[in-house]
A and B are shown apart, each in its own frame.
Chain A
Amino acid sequence: MPVNNKKPVTFRPFKTPRYAFDKLRICRRCGRYTALSEDRCGQCGRAALTAVEPHAVALAGRKLHTRLLFILLLTLGAVYFGQSLQQMVLCGAGGIVLAGLLFLTQRKVRQNENLYALNALLGRSMDSIREGLEINRQEAVSVLRENDVLAYEKLREISILLRGDRISRQRVALLHGFQLRKDMQLELEQLLLKDFEPLLAEYIGEIAKVRPELIKDRTLRYVKTYEVQILQMDKGAAILTAVAGAAVRLKRYVLLYSGMIGRYIPELPKDRFLRLSRMIASSPYEAWNGLDLKVAEVREAKYRWDPDF
């Protein structure tokens, strides 16, 4: 798609949560799970959505209180069946001591019990979570025609939990229609697929120009694996040159992917070539795998009279 035909868009700010389960919410009424930031439950329509961790904490608290109440209830029973005042006092005191002991233990282990409750909740709700996320995905796909930005934003939220190729492919296809800018909240490593996808290769090429700092190890590995297929694309060589230019950012990448970078040195923009040239000059004893010779050749051929070199 030519750049002019792409749509200028603005995404809502999005913060990736530290833990994937932080994105998951449960409806207290109907028990449906969702990863979307909606106010009301999509199934029952009630504003009863709550994050899974506080929900698990509430469940754990209820469980601990029930156990404590059970002890107190047994104590009351023991007092009730006491045949003398002494027996009643003894049973009452014994029960209170036991309840106090349990209460103190519960207070000490509360944090761990909360996490056990969270683990148990997620474990037993796995089918409901899968079902909820699939409904979320269908929701995102259903708004795709009317509002592709909203569809992308929904898929971005779901992808925190569902990391398969299906969601990534849909996101790449949507991103293909948007004009990418430096100030946009973009991602790349999360979108990499297992197999070759021309739209993803184009996206990588654009990212290499707009946000080269997003080109990291996994992206470089992907590009290296599918280098032949990318070269067969219309602007394949330009994509690979942009990626090689982005890789020149770090010496580690240059050393690791010297073969691939070496093939696109003649097409590198001047600033990228200058950086590579200086990098090699500052560490002449590194194992550049022939890259230093290629750089010297290109420098001789293209920049012989350039005062920057």
Chain B
Amino acid sequence: MISYAILGITFLYAVIQILIYASRQRKPQTRDDIDERLLAALNGGDHARK
């Protein structure tokens, strides 16, 4: 019985992970966004000078 319980936990864990990946895949990150956020954080939102 314990082994089925552990397998159940494994199943839940795998499903949760796959759901997390899928949700992130729906809102993909881009290098441009990351760059923009980094420059905004470093320059207090003023990073128009490119």
- Which residues of chain A have a CB within 8 Å of any CB of chain B? 19-21, 67, 70-71, 74-75, 77-83, 87-88, 90-91, 94-95, 98-99, 101-102, 105-106, 108-109, 112-113, 115-116, 118-119, 122-123, 126, 129-130, 133, 161-164, 168, 189-190, 192
Contacts and interface: CB of A to CB of B under 8 A. Distances in A.
Contacts of B32: 19
Given A20-B35, A74-B10, A83-B3, A113 B24 contact: yes
Given A71-B13, A71-B14, A81 B6 contact: yes
Interface residues of B, number: 36
B25 A112 contact: yes
B47 A163 contact: yes
A102 B4 CA distance: 19
Identify which of B1, B21, B32, B47 gathers the most chain A CB atoms within 10 Å of its CB: B21
B42 A116 contact: no
A81 B4 CA distance: 9
A91 B1 CA distance: 11
26 contacts: A19-B31, A19-B32, A20-B35, A74-B9, A77-B6, A78-B10, A81-B3, A81-B6, A87-B3, A88-B3, A94-B10, A95-B7, A99-B14, A109-B22, A109-B25, A112-B28, A116-B24, A119-B29, A119-B34, A122-B38, A126-B41, A129-B42, A161-B39, A162-B42, A189-B49, A189-B50
A19 B2 CA distance: 52
A187 B14 CA distance: 52
B34 A87 contact: no
B49 A105 contact: no
Nearest to B34: A119
Closest 4 CB pairs of A and B: A115-B29, A78-B6, A74-B10, A81-B2
Interface of B: 1-4, 6-7, 9-11, 13-14, 17-18, 21-22, 24-25, 28-35, 37-39, 41-44, 46-47, 49-50
A89 to B, nearest CB: 11
Contacts of A83: 1, 3
A78 B24 CA distance: 30
Identify which of B25, B42, B44 gathers the most chain A CB atoms within 10 Å of its CB: B42
Contacts of A122: 34, 37-38, 41
B28 A94 contact: no
B35 A105 contact: no
B31 A115 contact: yes
A102 B17 contact: yes
Contacts of A161: 38-39, 42
B4 A87 contact: yes
B29 A112 contact: yes
B21 to A, nearest CB: 4
B47 to A, nearest CB: 6
B24 A112 contact: yes
B32 to A, nearest CB: 8
A101 B14 contact: yes
